[in-house]
Amino acid sequence: MTTLGFLYPGHFAEDDFPRMEILLDAVRLVVNHTDVDEDDYGTDALTRTGTPERLAAGVTELQRAGVESVVWVSSGGSFLYGWEGAHEQTAALARVAGVPASSTSFAFVHAVRELDAARVAVAATYPEPVAELFTAFLHSAGIEVAATRAAGLASAAEAAAWGLDEVKDLVTAADRPEADVMLLPDTALHTVAHVAELERLLGKPVLTGNQVSVREGLRLADRRSWSPRLGRIFAEREAPPAPVATWGAGRARAHGGRKGWSGRQTHSGW
Protein backbone atom coordinates (compact mmCIF):
# COMPACT_ATOMS: atom_id res chain seq x y z
CA MET A 1 0.00 0.00 0.00
CA THR A 2 1.37 3.39 -1.04
CA THR A 3 0.41 6.27 1.25
CA LEU A 4 0.38 9.78 -0.21
CA GLY A 5 -0.10 13.00 1.74
CA PHE A 6 -1.98 16.13 0.69
CA LEU A 7 -2.28 19.53 2.30
CA TYR A 8 -5.64 21.00 1.29
CA PRO A 9 -6.69 24.58 2.14
CA GLY A 10 -10.07 24.73 3.87
CA HIS A 11 -13.04 22.47 3.07
CA PHE A 12 -14.39 22.73 -0.46
CA ALA A 13 -13.85 19.82 -2.88
CA GLU A 14 -11.84 17.47 -0.69
CA ASP A 15 -14.39 14.70 -1.34
CA ASP A 16 -12.64 14.27 -4.69
CA PHE A 17 -9.86 12.45 -2.83
CA PRO A 18 -11.79 9.51 -1.34
CA ARG A 19 -13.38 9.06 -4.76
CA MET A 20 -9.93 8.80 -6.35
CA GLU A 21 -8.72 6.47 -3.59
CA ILE A 22 -11.54 4.05 -4.46
CA LEU A 23 -10.64 4.15 -8.16
CA LEU A 24 -6.90 3.64 -7.71
CA ASP A 25 -5.28 0.34 -6.78
CA ALA A 26 -3.48 -0.04 -3.43
CA VAL A 27 -3.11 3.70 -2.88
CA ARG A 28 -4.05 5.50 0.32
CA LEU A 29 -4.68 9.24 0.07
CA VAL A 30 -4.31 11.14 3.36
CA VAL A 31 -5.69 14.68 3.33
CA ASN A 32 -4.93 17.22 6.04
CA HIS A 33 -6.60 20.61 5.94
CA THR A 34 -4.70 23.86 6.35
CA ASP A 35 -6.17 27.09 7.67
CA VAL A 36 -7.79 29.67 5.41
CA ASP A 37 -8.34 33.01 7.08
CA GLU A 38 -10.29 34.53 4.17
CA ASP A 39 -12.10 32.71 1.37
CA ASP A 40 -11.38 35.21 -1.35
CA TYR A 41 -9.92 34.87 -4.84
CA GLY A 42 -7.88 38.02 -4.56
CA THR A 43 -4.13 37.62 -4.96
CA ASP A 44 -3.32 38.61 -1.37
CA ALA A 45 -5.73 36.12 0.21
CA LEU A 46 -4.64 33.29 -2.07
CA THR A 47 -0.97 33.97 -1.44
CA ARG A 48 -1.49 33.89 2.33
CA THR A 49 -2.83 30.33 2.13
CA GLY A 50 0.60 29.12 1.03
CA THR A 51 2.90 30.69 3.60
CA PRO A 52 5.65 28.42 4.97
CA GLU A 53 4.18 28.58 8.48
CA ARG A 54 0.76 27.34 7.35
CA LEU A 55 2.16 24.51 5.30
CA ALA A 56 4.55 23.42 8.05
CA ALA A 57 1.69 23.38 10.56
CA GLY A 58 -0.17 20.83 8.47
CA VAL A 59 2.68 18.37 8.04
CA THR A 60 2.68 16.61 11.43
CA GLU A 61 -0.48 14.59 10.82
CA LEU A 62 0.80 13.48 7.44
CA GLN A 63 4.08 12.35 8.96
CA ARG A 64 2.20 10.27 11.53
CA ALA A 65 0.37 8.56 8.66
CA GLY A 66 3.69 7.53 7.11
CA VAL A 67 3.21 9.33 3.80
CA GLU A 68 5.79 8.81 1.05
CA SER A 69 5.24 12.21 -0.55
CA VAL A 70 3.40 15.46 0.15
CA VAL A 71 1.54 17.70 -2.30
CA TRP A 72 0.29 21.20 -1.50
CA VAL A 73 -3.14 21.05 -3.15
CA SER A 74 -3.55 24.66 -4.16
CA SER A 75 -2.99 26.22 -7.54
CA GLY A 76 -3.52 29.84 -6.50
CA GLY A 77 -1.55 29.29 -3.31
CA SER A 78 1.46 28.18 -5.35
CA PHE A 79 1.58 29.79 -8.81
CA LEU A 80 1.01 33.24 -7.31
CA TYR A 81 4.49 32.91 -5.80
CA GLY A 82 5.93 32.86 -9.31
CA TRP A 83 8.15 30.20 -10.82
CA GLU A 84 11.11 30.64 -8.46
CA GLY A 85 8.97 31.37 -5.42
CA ALA A 86 6.89 28.23 -5.98
CA HIS A 87 10.10 26.19 -6.14
CA GLU A 88 11.24 27.70 -2.85
CA GLN A 89 7.83 27.02 -1.32
CA THR A 90 7.86 23.30 -2.04
CA ALA A 91 11.56 22.91 -1.27
CA ALA A 92 10.81 24.29 2.22
CA LEU A 93 7.84 21.91 2.50
CA ALA A 94 10.04 18.94 1.58
CA ARG A 95 12.56 19.89 4.26
CA VAL A 96 9.86 20.04 6.93
CA ALA A 97 8.06 16.91 5.80
CA GLY A 98 11.19 14.83 5.25
CA VAL A 99 9.75 13.36 2.03
CA PRO A 100 9.51 14.60 -1.57
CA ALA A 101 7.07 17.50 -1.94
CA SER A 102 5.36 19.42 -4.70
CA SER A 103 2.30 21.55 -5.42
CA THR A 104 -0.66 21.54 -7.78
CA SER A 105 0.95 24.15 -10.02
CA PHE A 106 3.97 21.93 -10.67
CA ALA A 107 1.63 18.95 -11.01
CA PHE A 108 0.03 20.63 -14.02
CA VAL A 109 3.41 21.24 -15.61
CA HIS A 110 4.48 17.62 -15.18
CA ALA A 111 1.13 16.25 -16.40
CA VAL A 112 1.20 18.42 -19.55
CA ARG A 113 4.72 17.19 -20.29
CA GLU A 114 3.72 13.59 -19.72
CA LEU A 115 0.96 13.98 -22.30
CA ASP A 116 3.43 15.49 -24.79
CA ALA A 117 1.05 18.41 -25.32
CA ALA A 118 2.24 21.22 -27.59
CA ARG A 119 -0.26 23.75 -26.25
CA VAL A 120 -3.08 23.94 -23.73
CA ALA A 121 -6.26 25.85 -23.00
CA VAL A 122 -7.08 27.08 -19.49
CA ALA A 123 -10.59 27.13 -18.01
CA ALA A 124 -10.20 29.03 -14.74
CA THR A 125 -12.87 29.87 -12.19
CA TYR A 126 -10.70 32.77 -10.96
CA PRO A 127 -10.98 36.47 -11.68
CA GLU A 128 -9.14 37.39 -14.88
CA PRO A 129 -6.01 38.86 -13.21
CA VAL A 130 -5.47 35.65 -11.24
CA ALA A 131 -6.11 33.46 -14.27
CA GLU A 132 -3.53 35.47 -16.22
CA LEU A 133 -0.95 34.75 -13.52
CA PHE A 134 -1.57 31.02 -13.90
CA THR A 135 -1.02 31.42 -17.63
CA ALA A 136 2.23 33.26 -16.90
CA PHE A 137 3.34 30.39 -14.65
CA LEU A 138 2.74 27.92 -17.47
CA HIS A 139 4.70 30.15 -19.84
CA SER A 140 7.58 30.05 -17.34
CA ALA A 141 7.56 26.26 -17.72
CA GLY A 142 7.74 26.57 -21.50
CA ILE A 143 4.08 25.60 -22.02
CA GLU A 144 2.20 27.41 -24.78
CA VAL A 145 -1.31 28.55 -23.82
CA ALA A 146 -3.75 28.80 -26.72
CA ALA A 147 -6.48 30.52 -24.68
CA THR A 148 -7.46 31.34 -21.11
CA ARG A 149 -11.05 31.75 -19.98
CA ALA A 150 -11.73 33.32 -16.56
CA ALA A 151 -15.15 32.78 -14.96
CA GLY A 152 -14.58 35.58 -12.46
CA LEU A 153 -15.75 33.80 -9.32
CA ALA A 154 -14.95 35.56 -6.06
CA SER A 155 -14.31 32.62 -3.73
CA ALA A 156 -13.61 28.92 -3.36
CA ALA A 157 -17.08 28.44 -1.87
CA GLU A 158 -18.59 29.65 -5.16
CA ALA A 159 -16.40 27.24 -7.12
CA ALA A 160 -17.31 24.33 -4.83
CA ALA A 161 -21.01 24.99 -5.44
CA TRP A 162 -20.66 24.50 -9.20
CA GLY A 163 -22.07 21.39 -10.82
CA LEU A 164 -21.33 19.63 -14.09
CA ASP A 165 -23.36 22.05 -16.23
CA GLU A 166 -21.35 25.08 -15.12
CA VAL A 167 -18.08 23.22 -15.64
CA LYS A 168 -19.16 22.15 -19.14
CA ASP A 169 -20.03 25.72 -20.04
CA LEU A 170 -16.63 26.94 -18.85
CA VAL A 171 -14.54 24.37 -20.70
CA THR A 172 -16.59 24.80 -23.88
CA ALA A 173 -15.99 28.54 -23.80
CA ALA A 174 -12.27 28.05 -23.10
CA ASP A 175 -11.60 25.36 -25.70
CA ARG A 176 -9.71 26.01 -28.92
CA PRO A 177 -9.09 23.54 -31.76
CA GLU A 178 -5.32 24.08 -31.51
CA ALA A 179 -5.24 23.21 -27.80
CA ASP A 180 -4.15 19.64 -27.13
CA VAL A 181 -5.22 19.58 -23.48
CA MET A 182 -7.75 21.43 -21.30
CA LEU A 183 -6.65 22.61 -17.82
CA LEU A 184 -9.00 23.40 -14.92
CA PRO A 185 -6.68 24.67 -12.17
CA ASP A 186 -9.07 25.30 -9.27
CA THR A 187 -8.79 22.64 -6.54
CA ALA A 188 -12.04 23.91 -4.96
CA LEU A 189 -13.93 22.74 -8.04
CA HIS A 190 -15.50 19.27 -7.98
CA THR A 191 -14.16 17.62 -11.11
CA VAL A 192 -13.07 14.03 -10.46
CA ALA A 193 -16.53 12.57 -11.12
CA HIS A 194 -16.73 14.50 -14.40
CA VAL A 195 -13.31 14.06 -16.02
CA ALA A 196 -14.30 11.22 -18.36
CA GLU A 197 -17.43 13.05 -19.51
CA LEU A 198 -15.52 16.29 -20.05
CA GLU A 199 -12.96 14.43 -22.17
CA ARG A 200 -15.74 12.97 -24.29
CA LEU A 201 -17.25 16.42 -24.69
CA LEU A 202 -14.01 18.05 -25.81
CA GLY A 203 -12.34 15.10 -27.52
CA LYS A 204 -9.06 15.75 -25.70
CA PRO A 205 -7.42 15.12 -22.32
CA VAL A 206 -8.68 17.15 -19.37
CA LEU A 207 -6.42 17.93 -16.41
CA THR A 208 -7.94 19.18 -13.15
CA GLY A 209 -6.40 20.43 -9.93
CA ASN A 210 -7.21 17.54 -7.61
CA GLN A 211 -6.63 14.89 -10.29
CA VAL A 212 -3.12 16.09 -11.19
CA SER A 213 -2.26 16.57 -7.51
CA VAL A 214 -2.75 12.85 -6.93
CA ARG A 215 -0.79 12.07 -10.08
CA GLU A 216 2.01 14.24 -8.72
CA GLY A 217 1.99 12.44 -5.38
CA LEU A 218 2.35 9.14 -7.21
CA ARG A 219 5.18 10.51 -9.32
CA LEU A 220 7.11 11.66 -6.28
CA ALA A 221 6.60 8.27 -4.59
CA ASP A 222 7.81 6.53 -7.77
CA ARG A 223 4.51 4.64 -7.92
CA ARG A 224 2.19 3.86 -10.82
CA SER A 225 -1.56 3.46 -10.53
CA TRP A 226 -4.14 3.51 -13.30
CA SER A 227 -7.84 4.23 -13.69
CA PRO A 228 -9.31 5.32 -17.04
CA ARG A 229 -12.23 6.86 -15.15
CA LEU A 230 -9.78 9.52 -13.97
CA GLY A 231 -8.97 10.64 -17.50
CA ARG A 232 -6.29 9.97 -20.07
CA ILE A 233 -3.49 10.98 -17.71
CA PHE A 234 -4.44 7.87 -15.70
CA ALA A 235 -5.07 5.61 -18.70
CA GLU A 236 -2.63 2.70 -18.66
CA ARG A 237 -0.07 2.64 -21.42
CA GLU A 238 3.40 1.25 -21.94
CA ALA A 239 6.09 3.45 -20.46
CA PRO A 240 8.71 4.75 -22.92
CA PRO A 241 12.26 3.41 -22.55
CA ALA A 242 14.42 5.38 -20.16
CA PRO A 243 17.00 7.62 -21.83
CA VAL A 244 20.66 6.81 -21.41
CA ALA A 245 21.99 9.03 -18.63
CA THR A 246 24.97 11.27 -19.30
CA TRP A 247 27.21 13.19 -16.94
CA GLY A 248 25.35 16.29 -15.72
CA ALA A 249 21.97 15.09 -17.01
CA GLY A 250 20.50 14.99 -13.53
CA ARG A 251 21.16 18.67 -12.99
CA ALA A 252 19.68 19.51 -16.37
CA ARG A 253 16.52 17.56 -15.52
CA ALA A 254 16.20 19.34 -12.20
CA HIS A 255 15.97 22.67 -13.98
CA GLY A 256 14.48 21.83 -17.33
CA GLY A 257 12.19 18.88 -16.64
CA ARG A 258 11.74 15.64 -18.53
CA LYS A 259 8.94 13.26 -19.41
CA GLY A 260 8.34 9.94 -17.75
CA TRP A 261 8.68 8.68 -14.22
CA SER A 262 11.74 9.09 -12.07
CA GLY A 263 12.88 8.25 -8.58
CA ARG A 264 12.11 10.08 -5.40
CA GLN A 265 12.64 13.78 -5.97
CA THR A 266 11.21 17.04 -4.80
CA HIS A 267 8.92 19.37 -6.73
CA SER A 268 11.32 20.43 -9.48
CA GLY A 269 12.82 17.03 -10.18
CA TRP A 270 11.62 17.16 -13.79
Across residues 103-127, what is the average pLDDT? 97
**pTM recorded for the entire structure:** 0.87
**Higher pLDDT among residues 243 and 14, named by residue:** 14
pLDDT at 106: 98
Give the range among 18-22, 79-83, 194-198, 225-229 with minimum mean pLDDT: 225-229
Percentage of residues of the chain with pLDDT beyond 70: 87
Percentage of residues of the chain with pLDDT beyond 90: 82
Q: Are strands 101-103 and 70-72 parallel, antiparallel or unpaired?
A: parallel
If you average pLDDT over every residue of the chain, what do you get?
Answer: 89
- Cβ pair 195, 206 in contact under 8 A: yes
Confidence of residue 259 (pLDDT cuts 50, 70, 90): very low
